[in-house]
Amino acid sequence: MAKQTYLDVERDLTLEEVKVVYAYLQEQIELVSSQSKTAIEQNDYVKLKQLIDHRKQLLVAIHELEDIYGADLQVSPMQVKVDSMNQSLQKTARESVKWMIKRQEKGQQMIKSCLSKTASGLYKLADVLHNKS
């Protein structure tokens, strides 16, 4: 099976997806900055050079997104996380309600079955008692 590439997919990203990517890139910039400080403290200049190159790539990607989407991206990474959590909670709530409805329907079926069997048993008992008297 051939590996699927981005060019094979050919679909536009929604603004929400772009915001998630944008927030991820910003988080990566923060991570690279932290790692750069550690590399400087450890005098690891090879690692520092790699981190600087990676940071340049991240900044290019961020600037391209900002050029394309402009003010639409002015959402904090925290807001993107909150939106994502809200969507996840809504999905979980919908699934829970569906599950509860299904369980309630099964419970009602069991109650009807039990009542039917109980009524049938009581009729048989009444017939037996009526025949003995």
Q: Does residue 95 carry a pLDDT above 70?
A: yes
With bands split at pLDDT 50, 70 and 90, how would you rate the model's confidence at 1? very low
Per-residue pLDDT tens digits for 32-47? 998 988 888 888 888 8
Find all residues with CB under 8 Å of 58, minimum gap 6, and list them: 25, 28, 29, 32
| DSSP 8-state code for residue 49 | H
Return the structure tokens found at 53.
């190159």
For the chain, how big is the Rg over CA atoms in Å?
31
pLDDT for the residue 57: 93
Per-residue pLDDT tens digits for 44-58? 888 888 988 999 999
With bands split at pLDDT 50, 70 and 90, how would you rate the model's confidence at 5? very low
Q: Does residue 6 carry a pLDDT above 70?
A: no
Domain limits, the chain: 1-75
